[in-house]
A and B are shown apart, each in its own frame.
Chain A
Amino acid sequence: MKYLREEIFPTKFCSGCGCGTVLNCYAHAIDELGLNPENIVSVTGIGCSSWIPSPYLKCDTLHTTHGRPLAFATGVKIMKPDMDVVVIAGDGDIAGIGGNHLIHSARRNLDISVFLVNNYIYGMTGGQVSPTTPMGHPTTTTPYKNIEHPMKIAELVAAAGASYVARWTTYNVFPLMESMQNAFKKKGFSFIEILSPCPVAHGRKIGMREGQDYLNMFKEKAIKIEKVKNLSEKELEDRIVIGKFVDRERTEFTESLRKLNQERIGK
């Protein structure tokens, strides 16, 4: 509890929501790493998962406009390079409206940790289709069915140039916690896509009314990345590829900015 703003509890998350699990994993991850919450800035956008840090995390918190937390976080990290900057936000927020900033923050390889909670839906606004809603799912704004392809966010961020990319579900709490620690430790853009239940806004339209339904689904559909090499795109269509996608060394942005300044000062 020392990492949380106790006075705000209980949380406003719906029953069965995965945000509590992410919050729990996060608190354990920073506890095990021994991080000082005074040295953490959490930046977030608009949506259910943005409420994980705002206001529940006890650290400096910047609750920004919809889709823009990565842009705000860039300004924070540049001016405070010694602080741990973490962005926790949803699929609609940083893959949908703010998708451009996601690509470019990964490209710059800005040294922040991004935990994207993908619940397949715009939950806070009542269950509208999101860029990650599976094809065929009905939502309030795709009343017949969703006819669009969902976005593969982790793959996109890996291709954009991040140092560390992983995908887990809220069923895989221990690997997720470990992955969060790796994300914090990694120099560069560290990104974890976390698939998370939303039985209230997403599940109710597809007969998954309990959080447990999602955990069963995650358990059933998940496949480790190590095992997908010989599988076709068709075979993977309905599977959830989990694990570490990328873990590499790549020049980090704020360090490069500082080096440039060192070259210039005194000239």
Chain B
Amino acid sequence: MDYYENYLKKFEGKTFFILGDEAVAYGALFARCNFFGGYPITPASEVAELIARLLPNVNGYYVQFEDEIASIGAVIGAAWAGGKAMTATSGPGFSLMQENIGYAVMTETPCVIVDVQRSGPSTGQATKPAQGDVMQARWGTHGDHEIIALAPSSVQECFDLMIDCFNLSEIYRTPVILLTDGEIGHLREKMVMPKLKDVKIVKRPKAKDNKSVFGGQLIPPMMEFGRGGFIHVTGSTHKTSGMRDVESQEVHEELITRIYKKIETNREKIVRIEKKHMKNAKVAVVSYGASARPSLGAVERARRNKKKVGFFRFITIWPFARKQITELGKQVDTILVPEMNLGQISREIERFVDCEVISVPKIGGIVHSIDEIYAKIKEVV
């Protein structure tokens, strides 16, 4: 019996007025998540609280662990036992998870990590939003790797992107991060649940034997435990068979390059951006997540005042929308980058454009106002 089908029927097609965090939990359920391991942390706790309520109804499992390290560890274990598994946390917990996120990258384990970003470093402003984990999401774990991270700008997008995160993790056999923030997580607004038949669910390819669960093709199929495969999963450098080989330069290079290329060569398939009011624009306001909302507001005010300003939003943060941002740099003279950190994405943009890039940072736990961004626009137009 499909417990999900039965249970989700009462939600499908309905309009809700809920928190971003709650939309994340519903999105996970629609994506057929059946394991959640977590640890309470502001501003992500509402994800755990709702999913703890939802999962038993669909025969899924919620476990609150002793810390975030255990949470992500259990998530990876559950994934190898055939589960669709996730966790949700915020900055400090995300820091604790980094080693095991690297393990998930190395062992090519599909799973989803939600980071509802808050103001840091350290305990910082624990209850207030920020976008300070953008680079931690990219480089938080040690060693060469690519990562996928999506950033929602609305409650509806928390739901929609959660499903995308699970699908991407299954397609590319990799951990995927939903990089949301305390502002969006605690924002309450309208969202519409889709019809069940309209939700596209991707399942991981399954291996017929144990010969090439860790190589042989760009994205190898997976074999879960209990199928008689005598699967050997290790975070150490390993051969196509999964067996450890930490001595050979060639084995390491082949493995890491392939894992890197899984995402790098599919960059254009993964990258999603949103553009508005770009016609004739000579200035672009580029943002993502919560700070994209006042950015769009400021652009629309500028357009009303006949200023040639456009709006560009990253939905996919990682892999980076290099091609799209390079094209943007050719069209405009100036790019303004409002973000709730001291310029993490702004610096990344500078790598790919020749035009002027101006960081518009805002830290301290509040989102930019439209006035602030509009004032910057007026300075450069």
B257 at the interface (CB under 8 A from A): no
Give A73-99 interface residues, CB cut-off 8 Å to B: 73-80, 83
A62 at the interface (CB under 8 A from B): yes
Q: Give Cα distance in the complex from A76 to B61, angstroms.
A: 12
Say whether B226 contacts A104, CB under 8 Å: no
Give B220-234 interface residues, CB cut-off 8 Å to A: 225-226, 228-234
Say whether B244 contacts A75, CB under 8 Å: no
Q: Mark B210-248, 1 if CB is under 8 A from A, else 0.
A: 000000000000000110111111111000000110000
Number of A-B contacts (CB under 8 A): 143
Q: Interface-forming stretch among B62-70, B193-201, B328-336? A: B62-70
Q: Give Cα distance in the complex from A137 to B356, angstroms.
A: 64
Out of B57, B58, B81, B243, which one reaches A76, CB within 8 Å? B81
Closest A residue to B76 using CB positions: A72
Give B83-111 interface residues, CB cut-off 8 Å to A: 83, 85, 99-100, 103
A264 at the interface (CB under 8 A from B): yes
Q: Interface-forming stretch among A37-45, A143-151, A180-188? A: A37-45
Closest A residue to B84 using CB positions: A79
Q: Mark B40-78, 1 if CB is under 8 A from A, else 0.
A: 000000000000000011111101011101110111111
Say whether B226 contacts A39, CB under 8 Å: yes
Say whether B85 contacts A75, CB under 8 Å: yes
A251 at the interface (CB under 8 A from B): no
Interface centre among B57, B58, B74, B233 (most CB of A within 10 A): B74
What's the minimum C-beta distance from B65 to chain A, rounded to whole angstroms?
Answer: 7
Say whether B69 contacts A63, CB under 8 Å: no
Residues of A within 8 A of B37 (CB): 74-75
Closest B residue to A82 using CB positions: B226
Say whether A62 contacts B226, CB under 8 Å: no
Say whether A80 contacts B82, CB under 8 Å: yes
Say whether B83 contacts A79, CB under 8 Å: yes
B26 at the interface (CB under 8 A from A): no
Q: Mark A24-68, 1 if CB is under 8 A from B, else 0.
A: 000000000000011101010000000000110011111111001
Residues of B within 8 A of A101 (CB): 66, 70, 73
Say whether A55 contacts B232, CB under 8 Å: yes
What's the minimum C-beta distance from A24 to chain B, rounded to whole angstroms?
Answer: 20
Say whether A64 contacts B235, CB under 8 Å: yes
Q: Give Cα distance in the complex from A74 to B81, angstroms.
A: 11
Out of A38, A68, A77, which one reaches B100, CB within 8 Å? A68
Say whether A71 contacts B99, CB under 8 Å: no
Residues of A within 8 A of B311 (CB): none
Residues of A within 8 A of B73 (CB): 64-65, 68, 71-72, 74-75, 101
Say whether A80 contacts B226, CB under 8 Å: yes
B35 at the interface (CB under 8 A from A): yes
Out of A39, A55, A75, A261, which one reaches B74, CB within 8 Å? A75
Q: Give Cα distance in the complex from A77 to B78, angstroms.
A: 8
Residues of A within 8 A of B232 (CB): 54-55, 60-61, 63
Residues of A within 8 A of B99 (CB): 65
Which bracket fits the contact residues of A? 35 or more
What's the minimum C-beta distance from A51 to chain B, rounded to whole angstroms?
Answer: 9
Say whether A76 contacts B80, CB under 8 Å: yes
Question: When A65-B103, A74-B77, A79-B82 are in contact, do A58 and B230 touch as well, CB less than 8 Å?
Answer: yes
Out of A37, A70, A257, which one reaches B61, CB within 8 Å? A257
A227 at the interface (CB under 8 A from B): no
Residues of A within 8 A of B35 (CB): 75, 78-79
Out of B34, B81, B83, B236, which one reaches A63, CB within 8 Å? B236
Say whether A74 contacts B230, CB under 8 Å: no
A1 at the interface (CB under 8 A from B): no
What's the minimum C-beta distance from A63 to chain B, rounded to whole angstroms?
Answer: 4
B3 at the interface (CB under 8 A from A): yes
Say whether B75 contacts A64, CB under 8 Å: no
Say whether A63 contacts B65, CB under 8 Å: no
Out of A55, A70, A266, which one reaches B243, CB within 8 Å? A55
A5 at the interface (CB under 8 A from B): yes
Give A1-18 interface residues, CB cut-off 8 Å to B: 5, 8
Closest B residue to A59 using CB positions: B230
Residues of B within 8 A of A64 (CB): 73, 76-77, 103, 235
A231 at the interface (CB under 8 A from B): no
What's the minimum C-beta distance from A179 to chain B, rounded to whole angstroms?
Answer: 25
Residues of B within 8 A of A79 (CB): 34-35, 61, 77-78, 81-83
Question: When A80-B81, A104-B66 are in contact, do A61 and B74 touch as well, CB less than 8 Å?
Answer: no
Residues of B in contact with A (beta carbons under 8 Å apart) = 3, 6, 34-35, 37, 56-61, 63, 65-67, 69-71, 73-83, 85, 99-100, 103, 225-226, 228-236, 243-244
Listed from nearest, the 9 A-B pairs whose CB atoms lie closest are A75-B77, A71-B73, A75-B74, A75-B78, A79-B81, A72-B77, A71-B70, A63-B234, A264-B56
8 new A-B contacts, CB < 8 A, other than A71-B65, A71-B69, A75-B76, are: A55-B232, A58-B230, A60-B225, A63-B233, A72-B74, A78-B61, A257-B63, A264-B56
Can you name 11 A-B pairs with beta carbons within 8 Å? A54-B244, A62-B225, A62-B233, A63-B235, A64-B76, A64-B77, A70-B70, A71-B65, A72-B73, A74-B77, A261-B56
